[in-house]
Every structure is written in C-alpha cells, then in structure tokens.
A and B are shown apart, each in its own frame.
Chain A
C-alpha cells in the first residue's frame, strides 16, 4: 500500500520513508473506511473539519471589503461549496509541495482528489437541505468544537458540516487531538491574515499579540470616529430631527422643530465656522479627541483636505478651536440657535442634492 515515488536525492529517503509510513497508515485507514460510512465520517472528524457555511461568509465579507462586486447569499453559499472542495484539493497540493518530489505529489494528489470527490458526492446529497435550512443564527451555537472528543457528535451532525482533508506533516504528531488542534490553529491564523489585510498598517507587525494590538486600536479608532461624526452631526443641527430629509426619503410628517431665539451677533462667527469646517476636514482641526486618531488612521478623503488645512492661517484655527471648545459646552446652544433658525428654512432640494451626490 505504500507508494513511494522515486526520490531524486538519497538524503530524502528517510524522510520519504517516514512520510510513506504515515501515508500508508492513513491510506490503509481510508481504504478500510471507504466501505464503512460511519467510520469514514468519524475519521474525517478526527482529521478536522471546517463548517461549510463559514466559507461563504468569509469570502463575501473579505471580498466585499476588497471591493469585489457583492454576491447574493445563495450564490455565495454555492461558491462556498466549490470553494471548500477546491480548498481541500489545494491543501493537499500545498502539503505535497512542501516535502515531496513530483511522483509522490501526483500519487497524493490523486488520493486527495478521490477523497474530495467522495466528499463532494456526500456533500451534494447533504448540501441542498443545508442551504435551505441555513439559518445563520443557528450556525454558531450548533457548530461542534473542533476536538476529537466530540467525534460522535460530529457523526450525528455530519449533515451540517463539511470536511477538509488534512494531512499530517512530517515530524508532527498524528494524534487526532493534535490534528484537530492544528486545524483550529490554522483557521485562527488564516483569519488573522485576513484581518491583517483589512487593518491598515498591520503588515509591518508580526506576531499575534502585535496584530491583535493593531486590530484593537483600529476598531477603537473607528468607534471614536463614529462618535466624533455623530457629535458633529448633532452639533450642526440643534434639533436632532431630519424632518426635511424624511420628507424626501420616507414621506413622513413630523412636528416642525421649535424655533429657538436667534442671536444676531453670533452669526458672523457661525458663518466663519461653517465655512472653515467645509474647507478643513474636521479631523485635521484641533479637536483633541480626534487628533491622534486622525493621524494614525486618516480616512482616504481627508488626505486631500489636510494639506489645504495645514496652510490655513492660525487665526482660523484659533477661531475653530474656540468654537470647538464651545461646542463641547452645553451652554453652546445659543451658538447653534443661529443655525437652527436658518435650518428651518432650508430648501428641501438642497439637502437632497447633497445627499444624492454623495451616494
């Protein structure tokens, strides 16, 4: 049952023999198992598995993040089927490329292909009820943990899981526990790689702790940006109601906002502030909350605005700072009262055009 391809170097013979022993062992098991379905499933459970439904989520999330055209849910799950199959083939190839000459690789490829064909055959029976079942909410709690201790559970929930063909590498334990552990680790490292591509500036850091650090920083900075932007939105209209915009989008009717007293002497400063805020990107201004965050993860649109803002006069920035400091003050409602009175009379087309332009 051993199938050793002719190795070019004699120094590799020991390595090949070891792998051949391992492989023959596995192949023996597989041959035995091909007659027995339950043991087949159990063995693949021992090898480790990846749940089928995870792949479509991952792929659509990541590809969408990379700008690929979005796909419908059904299509992604279909893609996920073929993806997982090709994944198992490619994983077999990858392992073979690492340590074996070509003849060996060919033998392995055919073996893994056979297995994959068989899994695909098994899949297709089980896939369709799977896709139709597909409540995503059920996936997470019901997914069995990738441990060989849950082998019987894997067998019973076999119709919900897909199996990836994992090969034991040279010098590593072939224990079912460690195999499952390795699969789990590989999955985690793969997700860390995806995250590395998502988070800017993460590719310079190596190691799990550093990357986790970067990810945490990025998420926190994004959340702070959301807070800052919401503060800005709340500041620029004193009454948080989008009556006008609602009329455009939803056709709702609301009570008109209360008219607050206008302070005439504040109008010039209002004008100045609004004009400056239009020119400058707010994250380049002296708002302390966003200063370091803006520098670390500057959004794409601000890249053009920041050079212009840097050249702005100091008086403008001081004015903006003063207004910014006032913005945090609760008593600044008078300042924005001027906005409100003008906001009341805003033409509906204006806001609609602005929004539609952006969208």
Chain B
C-alpha cells in the first residue's frame, strides 16, 4: 500500500484519471453516432470527470481497503457512466435524508445515555452512507472508522491533484488566449 501523499500515488492517480477520461470519451462517442457526439452537456462532462476521478483514486490506492472495492465494483460493469451516475445520485439522496434525520432526532426518552447512544448510532449510519462500501452489514464500527481514515487521506490527495489539473488546464487555456 502506498501512502497517499507520495508522488507515485499522485502520478498513478493522474494517469488513471486520464485513461478513464479517455474511456469515457470513447464511450460517449461510440454511442452517439451523430456528428455532434462530442458535445456532452456540462453535467455529463462533470459527472464523467468526477466518476473517472473516483475510479482513478480507487485504482491508484490498490488493494487493501474496502472502499476501493466499493468504488471499482460498480464501475467495472459495462454501462460505466450510467451506473456511476445512478450510484452517485443514490448516495447523495441517502446522505441528505440521513443527515437530516440525524440532526432532527431529539429523544423522547428520559435516559441521557440512551439518547447519546442513539445519536452516535445515527451518526455512524450517516458515516456509513458517506464512506463508499460502508453500507455492507459486515462492516463493524472499528473497520468503518479505519476505512473512513483511509478514505479521508486519499480524498485529500485526490482534491489536490484535481485542483492542480484544473489549474494547469486553465493556465494552458488562458495562456493561449493571451
């Protein structure tokens, strides 16, 4: 397992990102046989970039964590973009409802300890929804926390790389304009 702050991880991530973006592009151009097939909408493009970034991160992380499997398993099926989009939307919806219920849950029981335990349980469930692969019932709390730790570290690296990529792309674009 590589540390996420290593250069090799970032380079592997970048490489995977480019590869998967290319695959997305080929996928869409294959399915839209019209001459304007390259013109994806902004949303589609964003989702393509995002899903390919997630897949790239999971692939560059290598085996050894649960969330990588959770990301890569649906993405490796045939209908890549559609499936990823649906999963993303589903995760987001679940996330929102659970967060709302976690916040709005006031206990009617008198025991303070029970209320605290219920809050913690709600938040644990909310964390499960956020961390990919946390939804399985086989994941206990300790594993969930470890997965969360791992995922956070790699997410940070992903954000850094994506920011650098976007800055580089913009800089190249603007330098041409000027």
Q: Report whether A345 and B66 are in contact in the complex, using a CB–CB cutoff of 8 Å.
A: no
A346: interface (CB < 8 Å): yes
Cβ-closest chain A residue relative to B8: A70
B148: interface (CB < 8 Å): yes
Residue interface bits B153-178, CB-to-A below 8 A is 1, else 0: 10110111011111111111111111
B95: interface (CB < 8 Å): yes
Q: Report whether B120 and A212 are in contact in the complex, using a CB–CB cutoff of 8 Å.
A: yes
Within 8 A of B (CB), among A136-151: 136-137, 140-141, 145
Within 8 A of A (CB), among B119-178: 119-120, 123-124, 126-127, 130-131, 138, 140-143, 145-146, 148-153, 155-156, 158-160, 162-178
A330 to B178, CA, bound (A): 27
Given contacts A187-B142, A219-B130, A299-B159, contact A234 B45 (CB under 8 A): yes
Q: Report whether B42 and A328 are in contact in the complex, using a CB–CB cutoff of 8 Å.
A: yes
Contacts of A192 in B (CB 8 A): 145
Cβ-closest chain B residue relative to A302: B163
Q: Report whether B42 and A330 are in contact in the complex, using a CB–CB cutoff of 8 Å.
A: yes
A292 to B54, CA, bound (A): 23
B87: interface (CB < 8 Å): no
Q: Report whether A240 and B142 are in contact in the complex, using a CB–CB cutoff of 8 Å.
A: no
A339 to B171, CA, bound (A): 12
Q: Report whether A61 and B123 are in contact in the complex, using a CB–CB cutoff of 8 Å.
A: no
Q: Report whether B141 and A222 are in contact in the complex, using a CB–CB cutoff of 8 Å.
A: no
Residue interface bits B32-46, CB-to-A below 8 A is 1, else 0: 000111111111011
Q: Report whether A246 and B148 are in contact in the complex, using a CB–CB cutoff of 8 Å.
A: no
Q: Report whether B142 and A61 are in contact in the complex, using a CB–CB cutoff of 8 Å.
A: no
A143 to B165, CA, bound (A): 40
* Interface size class, chain A: 35 or more
Cβ-closest chain A residue relative to B174: A274
Q: Report whether A222 and B155 are in contact in the complex, using a CB–CB cutoff of 8 Å.
A: yes
A255: interface (CB < 8 Å): yes
A241: interface (CB < 8 Å): yes
B107: interface (CB < 8 Å): no
Contacts of A252 in B (CB 8 A): 22
A321 to chain B, nearest CB (A): 17
Q: Point out which of A194, A209, A274, A327 has the most chain B C-beta atoms below 10 A from its C-beta.
A: A209
Q: Report whether A241 and B25 are in contact in the complex, using a CB–CB cutoff of 8 Å.
A: yes
Q: Report whether A239 and B172 are in contact in the complex, using a CB–CB cutoff of 8 Å.
A: no
A137 to B174, CA, bound (A): 46
Q: Report whether B39 and A226 are in contact in the complex, using a CB–CB cutoff of 8 Å.
A: no
B63: interface (CB < 8 Å): yes
Contacts of B18 in A (CB 8 A): 242, 245-246, 249-250
Closest 10 CB pairs of A and B: A64-B3, A234-B45, A70-B3, A230-B49, A354-B168, A136-B64, A274-B174, A212-B123, A230-B50, A358-B164
Interface pairs (24), CB distance under 8 Å: A64-B5, A67-B5, A68-B3, A70-B5, A76-B1, A140-B66, A188-B141, A215-B127, A216-B127, A222-B156, A222-B159, A227-B50, A232-B166, A235-B45, A236-B166, A236-B173, A242-B18, A274-B173, A277-B170, A299-B160, A332-B42, A350-B171, A351-B168, A359-B7
A interface list, Cβ under 8 A from B: 54, 57-58, 60-65, 67-68, 70-71, 73, 76, 135-137, 140-141, 145, 184, 187-188, 191-192, 194-195, 198-199, 207-209, 212-213, 215-216, 218-220, 222-223, 225-227, 229-242, 245-246, 249-250, 252, 254-255, 257-258, 260, 267, 270-271, 274-275, 277-278, 299, 301, 327-330, 332-333, 339, 342-343, 345-347, 350-351, 354-355, 357-359
Knowing that A195-B149, A212-B123 touch, tell me 7 more A-B residue pairs with CB under 8 angstroms.
A198-B149, A227-B50, A236-B166, A245-B18, A250-B15, A250-B18, A342-B173
